[in-house]
Amino acid sequence: MKGLLLELADAVQHAVDAMSGNPAEVVGRGADGAPSTRIDRVAEETVLQVLDYEGAALNVLSEEAGYIERGGNATLVLDPIDGTHNAIRGIPAYSVSLAIGHERLSDVQEALVRDLVSGATYYAAKGGGAFLNARSIRVRPVDLDDLIFSVYLGTQAAPDAARVASQARRVRVLGAASLDLCLVARGAADLYYMHSKLPETKLRAVDIAGGVLIVREAGGLVLDLKGSELDMPLTSTARTDLAAVGDRRTWEALA
């Protein structure tokens, strides 16, 4: 499936680069009722067109369209534009996130995240390691005196997010979950922490299915906030908080 995932990412990159009109224009509602912008819709329609052209036997779970039964034995978990707000505000951090799975996050077999600004391509296959632009990547060995965290600190952040952030030497956040997870996978960040106080603003499977496999194949951990390995159903309605770390000692230091 790697070739197909690369083809899909290339097609989305080309469509976004060539798009005319206002990318922020609201053109409908997504599967969860949130507004769909033009850039989201263009990216999603591009993926669906390529799947039809290639005759790919994959069902689709997408941020915008929800679940589409296409007679497949596996499902493409798709966030056509992860970091939409970045894209429409001109912040250069947004991606397309693609993953092949079945019913749960834990059974995702392949994943690809394409940074649509830099073109950086992250890929992982279950049991096969993680790669950035075809180069093997690993999480960073922990140094508790030199921690860089990516922590969501928006208006809907839970109170403990500020406490977590205060324990890092530096705090960065991209605002696109797939790319924040990939920062951990490549060793650029030691922790990605997302804890929202509202259920409707927690992360969805489409946001993280690709990045979670990439972190795990790079040697890292993706945990729920109780410290157990994160798992969730691949559905439109499931939501979660998470902590992704390169080393469990980083998580333990937060207690």
Among 136, 157, 185, the domain boundary falls at: 136
Together in a domain, 50 and 130:
yes
Dihedral pair phi/psi, residue 109, rounded to 5°: -105, -30
Together in a domain, 92 and 27:
yes
Together in a domain, 77 and 121:
yes
How many domains, in total, are found in the chain?
A: 2
Half-sphere exposure of 71 (CA within 13 A, CB side): 5
The CATH code of the domain that includes 86 is 3.30.540.10
Pairing, β 148-151 against β 170-171: parallel
The identity of residue 154, as a single letter, is: G
Please answer whether residues 233 and 104 qualify as being in contact, where contact means their C-beta atoms are separated by less than 8 angstroms.
Answer: yes
The CA distance from 121 to 235, in Å, is 25
> Domain range for residue 160?
148-252
Together in a domain, 194 and 89:
no
pLDDT of 206-244, one tens digit each? 999 999 999 999 999 999 999 999 999 999 999 999 999
Together in a domain, 71 and 165:
no
Please answer whether residues 144 and 133 qualify as being in contact, where contact means their C-beta atoms are separated by less than 8 angstroms.
Answer: no
Output the pTM of the full model.
Answer: 0.95
Together in a domain, 117 and 167:
no
Together in a domain, 124 and 21:
yes
Supply the pLDDT for residue 115.
Answer: 98
pLDDT of 141-184, one tens digit each? 999 999 999 999 989 999 999 999 999 999 999 999 999 999 99
The CA distance from 148 to 224, in Å, is 20
The CATH code of the domain that includes 240 is 3.40.190.80
Together in a domain, 52 and 9:
yes
Domain membership flag for residue 143? no
- State how far the alpha carbon of 107 is from the alpha carbons of 4, 8, 234, 249, in Å: 19, 21, 10, 26
Please answer whether residues 68 and 77 qualify as being in contact, where contact means their C-beta atoms are separated by less than 8 angstroms.
Answer: no
With cut-offs at 50, 70 and 90, classify the pLDDT of residue 27: confident
Q: Determine the length of the chain.
A: 255
Together in a domain, 240 and 119:
no
